[in-house]
Amino acid sequence: MRTKFIAGNWKMNLTKTSSIELARAIAKAIPNNVDVGIAPPFVYIDAVASAISGSKLLLGAQDAYCEPSGAFTGDISPPMLKDLGVKFVLTGHSERRHILHEPPELVSRKALAIYTAGLTPIHCVGETLEERDSHQTLEVIRSQLEELKPTTITDPNRLVIAYEPVWAIGTGRTATDQQAQEVHHFIRDTMTKMWNRDFADRVRIQYGGSMKPENATSLLSQPDVDGGLIGGAALKSESFLAIVNAAARLSP
């Protein structure tokens, strides 16, 4: 049984004060039967860590570089994040792939460095509208999954995949329940081939792309949808907690 995992990606939003307020509001309302995480901007992570200390809320980061230390001006390493209490880090988010032009080799090195540092990569995969329309969705997803190396990543509890169709992120357009389930099932199948069935059955696969309180229950009811990666709706405690509570109602 996979525990549902709802994570909020705050992107480049909020202030130090509003980050602390939002984190506190979420931390005090987490149900026991779901995992919940937030990924604030780097500069607020330490303040948020203090604000939520002692709670069940998991702290995440939106990115990390692929080296532990050194002359990489402006970058932040996985061990530095670990030092602040971070547990998970996003890799391959579509905004980094498509706006910041991160190539697959860099995404791959980042994911492996994050895992090697003892953190959990939330590895984002997803097709553009053009790729969907030209029937390349599954091929794109497979190659993005292959950025992960089964010889390095061996603990299924320390890997999360987020299926985020690029055309659904921040657009208000959501994948249908069937579209999400079809790709999630394909992701599990591909992981079975890359690792094995037991490993694939344990990895949680989140859906991301305009998930909100109104569509969360039906998306989260799909058999291979194990949670959500939430952008816009994660910036207000009411909408984020409504999604968390939808996941809790579906969980034993």
Give a three-class secondary structure readout of 115-162: HHCCCEEEEEECCCHHHHHCCCHHHHHHHHHCCCCCCCCCCHHHCEEE
Using CB under 6 A as the binding rule, whether residue 164 contacts ligand PEP is answered as yes
Between 9 and 195, whose beta carbon lies closer to ligand PEP? 9
CA dist 181 → 52, 68, 203 (Å): 33, 36, 15
Number of residues counted as binding ligand PEP (CB under 6 A): 13
The residue range among 41-49, 71-79, 112-120, 163-171 that interacts with ligand PEP, by the rule CB under 6 A, is: 163-171
3-state secondary structure at position 81:
helix
Nearest in space to 167 (alpha carbons), one of 189, 205, 204, 134? 134
Separation between Cα atoms, residue 55 and residue 224, nearest integer Å? 28
Between 106 and 162, whose beta carbon lies closer to ligand PEP? 162
Between 181 and 215, whose beta carbon lies closer to ligand PEP? 215
Between 104 and 170, whose beta carbon lies closer to ligand PEP? 170
What is the nearest approach in angstroms of ligand PEP to the Cβ of residue 110?
16
Cβ-contact 224, 188 below 8 angstroms: yes
Which of 4, 5, 9, 120 is close enough to bind ligand PEP by CB under 6 A? 9
Nearest in space to 222 (alpha carbons), one of 174, 173, 190, 166? 174
What is the nearest approach in angstroms of ligand PEP to the Cβ of residue 86?
17
Which of 117, 169, 187, 241 is close enough to bind ligand PEP by CB under 6 A? 169
What is the nearest approach in angstroms of ligand PEP to the Cβ of residue 209?
5
What is the nearest approach in angstroms of ligand PEP to the Cβ of residue 69?
28
Neighbours of 193 (CB within 10 A): 12
Which of 118, 170, 221, 236 is close enough to bind ligand PEP by CB under 6 A? 170
What is the nearest approach in angstroms of ligand PEP to the Cβ of residue 156?
22
DSSP assignment letter at 85: T
Residues within window 183-242 making contact with ligand PEP, judged by CB under 6 A: 208-211, 229-233
Catalytic residues: 93, 164
Using CB under 6 A as the binding rule, whether residue 38 contacts ligand PEP is answered as no
218-250: buried (b, 16+ CB within 10 Å) or exposed (e) per residue?
A: ebbebebbbbbbbbbbbbebebbbbbbbbbbee
Using CB under 6 A as the binding rule, whether residue 126 contacts ligand PEP is answered as no
Strand partners, 89: 61, 121
Label residue 29 exposed, middle or buried (CB < 10 Å: 0-12, 13-18, 19+).
middle
Residues engaged in binding ligand PEP (CB under 6 A): 9, 164, 169-170, 208-211, 229-233
